Copies of this chain bind each other. A is one copy, B any other.
Amino acid sequence: MIFADLTMSLDGFVAGPNQTLQEPLGAGGEQLHQWALAASAWRQAHGHEGGEAGVDSDVITETTSRTGAGIMGRKMFSGGSGGWADDPNPTGWWGEEPPFHHPVYVVTHHEREPLELTGTTFTFVQSFEEALRHAQGAAGEQDVQIHGGGTMVQQALAAGALDELNVHIAPHLLGSGSPLLGGSAGRLERARVIESPSGVTHIRYRVVRIK
């Protein structure tokens, strides 16, 4: 199964406007993720102790456990664009021990050898289709997660490849920014709703039909 799992503002953005290397989630974007940053499962995946137990943490654990391989866009990997020689962040945002602990395929126009970090190898491929093929092979019996950003989710939907969409709706308006969705029309089936005390509403949809 191929699924996406992203946090969006009520007005549909995964990141705010004016994204920079200093503020990769754009103006107001980081607050969308407070629910995750505060959760013990997130902190643990990032090598920290503490944090809050509860449904937010459970949702994260569930996602991590089912994922056998991941796909992300270049911007989510490092924030850079263009040739790798000029990337200000060549080993990515994610530190020496990235939180993924599964193979991650990064879609980029620019060729590069795989980057092996502790527990996670990033492999660079030149199209979403190629990423998907590799990730499905690597995931085995487990699921493939589209990590983001929005354009990766939009490509997965447009390709008819997405089976499930998990949206964490944060109680914020960003006004503008990078949209999660757009372009594809279709019908979904809501599979579940989890109302967290953090104010976030976790909704799972199955993709029934994309036109």
Contact = CB atoms under 8 A, between A and B. Distances in A.
Contacts of A109: none
Interface in A7-61: 10-12, 16, 27-28, 31
Identical subunits present: 2
A183 interface: yes
A157 interface: yes
A119 interface: no
A199 B195 contact: no
A interface bracket (residues with beta carbon within 8 Å of B): 35 or more
Given A175-B185, A189-B199, 14 more contacts: A11-B180, A12-B181, A28-B185, A171-B188, A171-B189, A171-B190, A172-B187, A172-B188, A173-B181, A176-B183, A190-B195, A193-B195, A201-B201, A201-B203
